[in-house]
């Protein structure tokens, strides 16, 4: 039985989604909710081992299809060991990146056929679709500069070039537009506090209803 509530954050490099997901986590803790914070790739022992293969090394280290399988293998472990147990205890789970990253990075930007991506995603997550997904939208020129300034090690995706990251931004916008019930597009150019206030208000009105 799944009594919990599942929230994901998505967006391009440096879009502020990790900051915003952490702020929501703190807010929920302080307002008395049972909540866990996790991330992808990773979030369980096995998935963290696979993460290392994915985020380090040359930017063309893997074919998009290999990436699709590696991210999916990591996700299966993460769901089984971390997400599902927390949801069945009635907790709120916040996850930094999930299925929409696979659709954007491997599917749309990686040019893998839509039907193949859907098939693998359905097999991987079964019915575990987030209740809410916040998609942080930012000009990739601004985002990449922020990301490369703070992260000097795990840069495999950051190094893929501006054309790739423009595709990622467009991909996330189109995912948001085609999943309006679940996804909320967040203007990540705004002030951090203003964005978090918007997210807290949106969460409160959705969670209670
Ligand atoms: P991470 O290092 O956590 O960076 P960020 O802070 O931007 O989230 O993410 C690892 C990279 O993995 C990120 O560039 C996006 C990519 N990714 C995919 O390509 N497909 C996926 O399914 C996921 C979850 C992440």
Nearest CA to ligand 1 atom 19: 105
In ligand 1, which atom is closest to the CA atom of 154?
Answer: 2
Ligand 1 contacts CB of residue 2 (under 6 A):
no
Residue with tokens 């089984």, as numbered in its chain = 80
Ligand 1 contacts CB of residue 172 (under 6 A):
no
Mean pLDDT of the 80-84 span: 98
Could you give the CA distance from residue 120 to residue 181 in angstroms, rounded to a whole number?
Answer: 23
SS3 136: strand
* Phi then psi dihedrals of residue 92, to 5 deg: -90, 130
Mean pLDDT of the 107-119 span: 97
Could you give the CA distance from residue 11 to residue 74 in angstroms, rounded to a whole number?
Answer: 19
Could you give the CA distance from residue 133 to residue 145 in angstroms, rounded to a whole number?
Answer: 24
Looking at the predicted structure, is the pLDDT value of residue 189 above 90? yes
Ligand 1 contacts CB of residue 53 (under 6 A):
no
pLDDT of residue 40: 98
DSSP label at residue 105 = I
Predicted model pTM: 0.96
Distance 208 CA to ligand 1 centre (A): 31
Domains of the chain: residue spans and CATH:
5-206 (3.40.50.300)
Alpha helices in 94-191 (DSSP H): 99-101, 114-125, 140-150, 162-178
């Amino acid at each position: 039985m799944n009594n919990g509530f599942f929230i994901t954050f998505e967006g391009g490099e440096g879009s502020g989604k990790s900051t915003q997901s952490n702020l929501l986590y703190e807010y929920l803790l302080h307002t008395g909710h049972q909540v866990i914070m996790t991330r992808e790739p990773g979030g369980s022992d096995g998935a963290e081992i696979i993460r290392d293969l994915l985020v380090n090394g040359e930017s063309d280290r893997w074919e998009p299809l290999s990436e699709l399988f590696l991210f999916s293998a990591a996700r299966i472990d993460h769901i089984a060991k971390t997400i599902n147990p927390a949801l069945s205890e009635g907790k709120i789970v916040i996850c930094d990146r999930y299925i929409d990253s696979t659709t954007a990075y491997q599917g749309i930007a990686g040019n893998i056929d839509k039907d193949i991506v859907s098939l693998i995603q359905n097999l991987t997550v079964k019915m575990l679709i987030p209740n809410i997904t916040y998609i942080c939208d930012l000009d990739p020129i601004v985002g990449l500069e922020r990301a490369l300034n703070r992260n000097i090690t795990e840069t495999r995706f950051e190094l893929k070039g501006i054309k790739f990251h423009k595709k990622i931004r467009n991909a996330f916008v189109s995912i948001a537009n085609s999943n309006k019930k679940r996804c909320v597009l967040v203007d990540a150019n705004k002030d951090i506090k203003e964005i978090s206030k918007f997210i807290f208000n949106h969460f409160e009105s959705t969670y209670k209803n």
